[in-house]
Amino acid sequence: MDERMIMEKIREHLHLSEDVDVSDAPRKVEKGRSFYEDFSLRGIRVNRVDPGFISCSFKVPLRLTDRDGYLANGAIANLVDEVGGAVVHVEGLPMNVSVDMSIAFLSKAKLGEELEITSRVMGERGSYKGTIVVVRNKMTGEIIAEGRHSLFGRQPSKL
């Protein structure tokens, strides 16, 4: 499989639907997707995919805010997990397993704010991979959170 197809598969994994639905109305989950993925990632937009790098945009929806109207820390942790895992995913193999995540929550994101989420591969040793995910306010550039994500997964066969 060529590199372009692999990058397109990463886009498909992160990009759940074409519609930008910021309402919390129940909807049918797409085939092959879990309710959890659909609920937490609905509305994410993949802007750029390069080997070892992903850049996404995400508008803070009501369904992922806390009682004060800010993006919930659990939603930020999920974004670190999903986008950090996607950057190291190898097509044809199961998703890698998260071994460790360390997240620094540096600021808050309000309902409706546009976020930029970038993920880079920091390193790889055998089946163990490390990524860094930065969540920032797209308008101000302020860093909302920075997460380091370690994953373990199968290696592609060299045969």
Structure tokens at 49: 């995919």
Burial 110-140 (b: 16+ CB within 10 A, else e): ebebebbbbbbbeeeeeeebbbbbbbbbeee
Residue 159 has a pLDDT of 60
Residue pLDDT, tens place only, 10-47: 666 565 444 444 444 445 545 555 666 666 778 889 99
Structure tokens at 44: 């994410």
Nearest-angstrom CA–CA distance, 18 and 44: 10
- What is the pTM (predicted TM-score) of this model? 0.73
Residue pLDDT, tens place only, 113-130: 999 999 998 988 888 888
Residue 44 has a pLDDT of 87
